[in-house]
Amino acid sequence: MQNLSILQNKIKIKFNNLELLKQSLIHKSFNHDVNNEKLEFLGDRVIGLILSKTLLKTYPNDREGIIDKKFANMVNKKTCADVAKTLDLKKFMLIGGSYKGANRSDEKITSDCLEALIGAIFLDKGLDVSEKFILRYWQEYLDKSVLTIIDSKTRLQEYSLKKFKELPSYKSYKETGPKHNPIFKVEVQINGSKKYKGTGSSKKIAQQSAAKKLLEDVLI
């Protein structure tokens, strides 16, 4: 129980039902029948609800595709594992000896445990406390999300696949300038469109430039 007190102090939440907190820390390798899998399932949904609501409120003018990309960056296993590491969550977990001895990544089990912990917080304290907890530990990722954009090449690919069920066609047609500072020229075309040209210091930049021009024309 001492570990549970330490964890409660760390997360600044006092549980009414300590059994919920304990269960959130039990990996299935420790107890096959009583473990954190169902709480993990619930916590994943609570995280999704809070972060999607927050993103929609923070970026009211962003397209759904951009919001979705920002959301995906914040709920993936790596981000959850990073938050779990901040809480030093692994040292509070109950993990079976067979799992400890295996060559496995900590990232999945700590990420899953964090989701289970949030599921337990939700059941014990409700949505408001869960939201405060999530926003406290995801704030830096929310701050970074302002930099997450869908680049022109990706947007054009999504548009072409959705509308024509085919990828844009890129063609590199010229490279000029000195070898140490070349200029690449690329053209792109989608079904029925004219060809749009882009230039840049690399083929990738030139493709982005061409895609941007095509998008600006077809999405007007």
Q: Which one from 40, 44, 112, 187 is the annotated catalytic residue?
A: 44
Encoding tokens for residue 188? 């792109």
Structural domains in the chain, sorted by start: 2-147 (1.10.1520.10), 152-218 (3.30.160.20)
Under DSSP, the state recorded for 194 is P
Backbone angles phi, psi at 173, to 5 degrees: -120, -10
What is the sign, positive or negative, of the torsion defined by CA atoms of 124, 128, 132, 137?
A: positive
44 part of the active site: yes
CA distance 121 to 133: 9
Q: What is the pLDDT of residue 81?
A: 93
Encoding tokens for residue 155? 């947007």
CA distance 47 to 136: 12
pLDDT tens across 10-49, in order?
A: 999 999 999 999 999 999 999 999 999 999 999 999 999 9
Is pLDDT above 70 for 147? no
pLDDT tens across 161-192, in order?
A: 999 999 999 998 878 877 777 888 999 999 98
Is pLDDT above 90 for 105? no
CA distance 186 to 156: 15
Q: Which one from 40, 62, 112, 115 is the annotated catalytic residue?
A: 115
Is pLDDT above 80 for 150? no
Instruction: Supply the mean pLDDT for the chain.
Output: 89
For residue 14, give the amino acid letter. K
pLDDT tens across 72-89, in order?
A: 889 988 999 999 999 999
117 close to 43: Cβ distance less than 8 angstroms: yes
175 part of the active site: no
Is pLDDT above 90 for 138? yes
CA distance 65 to 151: 11
Q: What is the pLDDT of residue 132?
A: 96
